[in-house]
Amino acid sequence: MIEGILPSYKSFFLSFKEILKSLGPGLITGASDEDPSTIGTYSQAGAQFGLGMLWLALFQYPMIVVVQEMCARIGLVTGSGLTAIIKKKYSTKVVLAIASLIVIANTINIGADIGAMAASVKLLAPQLPVAIATLSFTTFIIVSELIIPYSKYVKILKYLSLSLLAYVATAIIVGGNFNNLLRASIIPHFELTSAFAMMFVAIFGATLTPYAFFWQASEEAEEDVAKYKITEISGVGNSPRISKKEMMLMRSDVTIGMALSQLVMWAIITTTAGTLHSHGITDIQTADQAAKALQPLVNTFPDAGEISKTIFALGVIGTGLLAIPVMAGASGYALSDAFGWKEGLSKSFTHAKNFYLVIAASTIIGLSINFTNLDPIRALVYSAIINGIVAVPILVTVMKIANDPKILKDKINGRTSNIIGWITVLIMGIAVVILFLTWGRQ
As for how many domains the chain has, the answer is 1
Q: What is the DSSP letter of 192?
A: -
| Cβ–Cβ under 8 Å, residues 134 and 369 | no
C-alpha distances out from residue 329 to 103, 273, 303, Å: 10, 34, 39
CA 411 to CA 104: how far, in whole Å? Answer: 31
Q: Are 239 and 69 in contact (CB under 8 A)?
A: no
Domain span holding position 221: 2-438
| pLDDT attached to residue 61 | 95
Tally of CB atoms within 10 A around 134 = 24
Q: What is the mean pLDDT of residues 395-401?
A: 95
Q: What is the pLDDT of residue 9?
A: 39
pLDDT at 197 over 70: yes
- What percent of the chain clears pLDDT 70, i.e. is strictly above it? 89
In this prediction, residues 274-293 reach a mean pLDDT of 85
Report the range out of 18-22, 94-98, 242-246, 398-402 with the highest average pLDDT: 398-402
Q: What is the pLDDT of residue 18?
A: 59
Res 26: pLDDT: 67
Angle value at C-alpha 356, between 365 and 401, nearest 5 degrees = 95
pLDDT at 22: 59
For residues 64 and 229, give the distance between their C-alpha atoms in angstroms, rounded to a whole number: 28
Distance CA 272, CA 274 (A): 5
- Assess whether pLDDT exceeds 50 at residue 14: no
For residues 50 and 39, what is the distance between their CA atoms, to the nearest angstrom?
15
- pLDDT score, position 267: 92
Contact status, residue 201 vs residue 430, Cβ threshold 8 Å = no
Mean pLDDT check: name the lowest of 90-99, 256-265, 283-292, 340-349: 283-292
Is residue 441's pLDDT more than 60? no
pLDDT digits (tens, 9 = 90+) for 180-190: 999 999 999 99
| Letter string b/e over residues 335-357, b meaning 16 or more CB atoms within 10 A of that residue's CB | bbbbeebebbbebeeeebeebbe
Higher pLDDT, 304 or 247: 247
Nearest to 61 by CA among 204, 227, 175: 204
Residue 248 has pLDDT above 90, yes or no: no
* CATH classification of the domain holding 391: 1.20.1740.10
Mean pLDDT throughout 408-435? Answer: 92
Q: What is the pLDDT of residues 422-437, one digit of tens each?
A: 999 999 998 888 878 8
